[in-house]
Amino acid sequence: MQYVRHGPEYGHPESPQRLISIYEMLDNPDMSWKFAWIDARYATREELERVHRPSYIDYIAATAGKTMMLDPDTVATAETYDAARRAAGGFINAVDSVVSGETDNAFALVRPPGHHAQAAEAAGFCIFNNIAIGARHALARHRMKRVLIVDWDLHHGNGTQEAFYEDRQVLYFSAHQSPAYPGTGGLTEMGKGLGLGYTLNVPLIPGAGDALYVSLFRDILSPIALAFRPEIILVSAGFDNYVGDPLGAMEVTPEGFACMTRILLDLADQCCGGRLAATLEGGYNIQGLTKSVRAMLLELLGETRMTEETLIGMVAGTDEKASRVIGRVREQFEPYWPVLRNER
């Protein structure tokens, strides 16, 4: 399996062990028979070029067989180029599988992650921007006009934001810890030109937990998504906002991830026949990552069903500070998304 052949095995948080642990969980007899496997493939040069510069792709291709640092956090090892284009291709296949109706939804459990990768730059453990490549594929190949990307990774997806900053066909919504790497993703970064209002960033102070995320998804993201009417929902699913992650200080539990998944599935049901495809971003507490991925998969499957009561129960924990955050976000987004006015 190519995804585990990228990167040093030890001493780096984005290690092959992350996926090995997830695959072991999926091999378990209580899980293995429940899911359909979607084959992976290499993204083609044309697919990569929809997001990355040709010279950058050549630069990454030239790392094949070598070990070199691409930025202070990001290393290429002998098989990184192959793993990275397979991660992008794996996610494209997940998108195709959902669009064709072969599966109801899909989760690309791939490495390396992608959302920090920019047109001509590897960064933050990311080489090719899988989610952006998947979104461009949905626009180009499936002739979609509206794609929603939801990025709940601990970090702001600066690469994804860059890819669609002036584009209104892709609505990018990110909730992330602030301050944190990479330092972008302020509330006022809202897109440019035709894309103004189609980049939505919610920086959250350390310590945000299930209640705040669920309120944000329910009270801010949901009405906007319903107004936008995406033809597919793509998810940058990072789990470094898990309560015990070594890189983060957020407090999201596996149940919290399941709740966010449920909200997105309900939106997908209302907007686009349930079409949802997720791809793995961060998550460095291996046990927490595995538990959270499991909770998300069972929710995608419909085996657990987070109900309105569970959601309300979670939101009931929202304190005054959280309501202030939501209020401030609403104020910022309302001029671009008047639908938020009705939600008061």
> Hunting for tokens 């429940």 — which residue is that?
34
Binding residue (CB under 5 A) for Zn ion from 203, 238, 254, 288: 238
Query: Which residues inside 307-336 make contact with Zn ion, applying CB under 5 A?
Result: none
Q: Give the residue with the Cβ less far from Zn ion, 104 or 210.
A: 210
The interface region with Zn ion, picked from 66-74, 76-84, 282-290, 308-316 by CB under 5 A, is 282-290
The interface region with Zn ion, picked from 50-58, 129-137, 154-162, 189-197 by CB under 5 A, is 154-162
Q: Should residue 288 be labelled a site residue for Zn ion when binding is judged by CB under 5 A? A: no
Binding residue (CB under 5 A) for Zn ion from 155, 176, 218, 275: 155
Instruction: Provide the 10 A C-beta neighbour count for residue 54.
Output: 11
Cα R_g (the chain), whole angstroms: 18
Q: From residue 64 to residue 103, what is the string marking binding to Zn ion with x (rule CB under 5 A)? A: ----------------------------------------
On the 0-12 / 13-18 / 19+ scale of CB atoms within 10 A, 339 is middle
C-alpha count within 13 angstroms, C-beta hemisphere, residue 116: 24
Binding residue (CB under 5 A) for Zn ion from 162, 210, 231, 240: 240
User: Minimum Å distance from CB 129 to Zn ion?
Assistant: 13
Q: Distance between CA 43 and CA 87 in Å, rounded? A: 8
Q: Give the residue with the Cβ less far from Zn ion, 18 or 86.
A: 18
Q: Distance between CA 301 and CA 22 in Å, rounded? A: 16
User: Minimum Å distance from CB 240 to Zn ion?
Assistant: 4
Both tokens of residue 126? 């990311």
User: Minimum Å distance from CB 229 to Zn ion?
Assistant: 29
User: Minimum Å distance from CB 174 to Zn ion?
Assistant: 11
Q: Give the residue with the Cβ less far from Zn ion, 126 or 306.
A: 126
The per-residue b/e assignment along 325-335, b for 16 or more CB within 10 angstroms, e otherwise, is: bbeebbebbee
Tell me if 76 sits within 8 A of 63, measured CB to CB: yes
Binding residue (CB under 5 A) for Zn ion from 153, 162, 255, 299: 153
Q: Should residue 154 be labelled a site residue for Zn ion when binding is judged by CB under 5 A? A: yes
State the catalytic residue, choosing from 116, 137, 155, 176: 116
Strands, E assignment, 54-162:
68-71, 74-76, 105-108, 147-151
Residue 204 to residues 102, 180, 187, 237, 283: CA-CA distances in angstroms? 37, 10, 10, 17, 17
Interface size with Zn ion, residues (CB under 5 A): 6
Binding residue (CB under 5 A) for Zn ion from 90, 191, 254, 282: 282
Q: Give the residue with the Cβ less far from Zn ion, 74 or 332.
A: 74
Q: Distance between CA 74 and CA 80 in Å, rounded? A: 11
The interface region with Zn ion, picked from 43-51, 76-84, 168-176, 240-248 by CB under 5 A, is 240-248
Q: Which residue is nearest to Zn ion (CB)?
A: 282
Active-site residue, 116 included: yes
Q: Distance between CA 239 and CA 101 in Å, rounded? A: 27
Residues 6+ apart with CB under 8 A from 15: 7, 8, 9
Q: Distance between CA 168 and CA 144 in Å, rounded? A: 12
Q: Give the residue with the Cβ less far from Zn ion, 84 or 268.
A: 84
The interface region with Zn ion, picked from 29-37, 150-158, 255-263, 308-316 by CB under 5 A, is 150-158
Q: Give the residue with the Cβ less far from Zn ion, 174 or 199.
A: 174
Q: Should residue 159 be labelled a site residue for Zn ion when binding is judged by CB under 5 A? A: no
The residues that are catalytic are 116
Q: Which residues bind Zn ion (CB under 5 A)?
A: 153-155, 238, 240, 282
